[in-house]
Amino acid sequence: MLKEEKEKSLVVIQLSGGNDYLNTIIPYGNDEYYDFRKTVHIKQDSVLHIDNLYGFSPHMAPIKNLYDQGKVAIINGIGYANPNRSHFRSMDIWHTAMPDEIGTEGWLGRVIRDLDPSSENVLTGVNFGRGLPRALGVKGVPVASVGNLETYGLFPDIKDDKQKQLALRAFTHMYGGVAKGNIMDYLGRTGMDALKGADILRTAPAKYLSNVEYGSDTISQSLKSMAQVLLADLGTRVLYTQHGSFDTHSGEILSHAKLWEDVSSAVGDFYDDMDEHGRNNEVIVLIFSEFGRRIKDNGSGTDHGSGGVAFLIGSEIKGGMYGQYPSIREADQLEGDLHFNNDFRSTYSTIIEKWFELDARPIVNGRFEQFDVFKAS
């Protein structure tokens, strides 16, 4: 599984629950922001300025730091037409890249299939968390779903090591043997794939050596696991995780701050970790959420909205502001929300074609304008 040439990987961080765009990239130079956000706002003097209109939340210092180095593309006003404000449906739309019909295949599952058409590597796609997000699901495409890298695999609850080894040996005998019928065959093959994937994945932490100290929060630990997997050269190309809940209907000031502090420091540490190993040019990070939030606050938090922000981060990214920051003027609002101005499938297509060098059309079901976010190679 040693790679012969540099393979490009994608890390996806899903901000579940609907991230508040207005308090992430803050239009602090616009008085209307403070009019609509009487309580749930970030004070002008604490915003991390991008220019004299916009700035990062003060809880995103590590990402702002990367932005200043030209490594962060901010995709403003990302979304899709006829926004759906249900968490589940909107997340489904982002996962399947199908806003108008109900889709069943995940866009990243299709990417994984096209990267490894004969499923040679059971670890081309790895989800860090339990339960496969629909973004990764396509029938016949193996994807490992890892709760905890150190203990990942079968029988984590058998604490006695000798007994666990005996149970695994029995499992290998039972699943590896020839049995009657297609169904038993299929089960056997899947069981052996799971075992193989787990055996390989578990070796990653042992090989890992780094000076970076990640935080103890879950998103930091997930990104650390991702770094371990990438640095172990297991051929993993798509790495997925989610963090939340960004559903800040109440108490937003405190909770949103903590969420972004964790995500930003995790991303900053991950960047430093890859940098320390000279591998930063091989990976980009995509951060997205299913929707943004209402322009006007509700006194304590914000309700479901539309129009949001995504980030692409990496040393191969040409940093800057992309898309348009949507107008928040009363007359320009969409039922109290922001209008989107670029389809999320533009960002997907950009990643698929310019980073993975695959044909985006069959994956996102159409042709979308792409951003010029990568450095000339």
Partner 1 sequence: MDTNANDMSIMAHLMRRAGFTATRMELEAYISDGYESTVEKLLFPGEPENMPDDMIRRYHVDQSEMRQIEGAGAYWLYRMITTKNPLEEKIALFWHGLFATGYAKLNQARVLLNQIDMFRRFGLGSFKTMLIELSKDPAMIIWLDNNDNHKGAINENYGRELLELFSMGIGNYSENDVKECARAFTGWTLKNAEYMAVRAGKDSIWPYGRIAWQYQYREEDHDNGIKTFLGRTGNFNGQDIVGMIVEEIATARFLSTRLFQYFAADEITDDSELIISSMMDSYFESQYQVSAMLRTLFNSDYFKSEKCMYARIKGPVESVVGTARLAGSYRKPTLDVHKLWFQTFFMGQGLLAPPTVEGWHEGTEWIDSGALVERINFAANEFGDVNKPGVKYIIDRLSRQYNGSIKPESLVDGCLDLIGPIKVEDLTRESLIEFVSSYNDTSLLIGDINSIGAKCVAQTLGLIASTREYQLA
Summarize as ranges the residues that interact with partner 1 (CB under 8 A). Answer: 86, 88-89, 92, 102, 104, 122, 127, 130-132, 134, 139, 142-145, 153-158, 163, 166-167, 169-171, 173-175, 177-180, 183-184, 186-188, 190-191, 193-194, 197-198, 249-250, 298, 303-304
- DSSP assignment of 257-286: HHHHHHHHHHHHHHHHHHHHTT-GGGEEEE
The helix/strand/coil state of 168 is helix
Nearer to partner 1 among residue 11 and residue 141 (C-beta)? 141
Q: Which residues on neighbouring strands pair with residue 10, listed in sequence order?
A: 238, 284
Residue type, 206: A
Residue type, 167: A
Nearer to partner 1 among residue 186 and residue 213 (C-beta)? 186
The least distance separating partner 1 from the CB of residue 18, rounded to whole angstroms, comes to 11
Nearer to partner 1 among residue 60 and residue 226 (C-beta)? 226
Nearer to partner 1 among residue 250 and residue 324 (C-beta)? 250
Residue type, 186: Y
From first CA to last CA, the distance across the chain in angstroms is 26
The least distance separating partner 1 from the CB of residue 35, rounded to whole angstroms, comes to 20
Residue type, 130: R
Q: Which residues on neighbouring strands pair with residue 312, listed in sequence order?
A: 73, 286
The least distance separating partner 1 from the CB of residue 218, rounded to whole angstroms, comes to 16
Nearer to partner 1 among residue 16 and residue 298 (C-beta)? 298
The least distance separating partner 1 from the CB of residue 196, rounded to whole angstroms, comes to 9
The beta-strand segments (E) located in 149-300 are: 238-244, 283-289
Nearer to partner 1 among residue 61 and residue 192 (C-beta)? 192
Distance (Å, rounded) from C-alpha 321 to C-alpha 148?
35
The least distance separating partner 1 from the CB of residue 180, rounded to whole angstroms, comes to 7
Nearer to partner 1 among residue 6 and residue 139 (C-beta)? 139
Distance (Å, rounded) from C-alpha 304 to C-alpha 99?
18
Burial 137-150 (b: 16+ CB within 10 A, else e): bbeebbbbbbeebe
The least distance separating partner 1 from the CB of residue 345, rounded to whole angstroms, comes to 20
The least distance separating partner 1 from the CB of residue 350, rounded to whole angstroms, comes to 27
Nearest to 75 by CA among 352, 320, 322: 322
Over its C-alpha atoms, the chain yields an Rg (Å, rounded) of 22
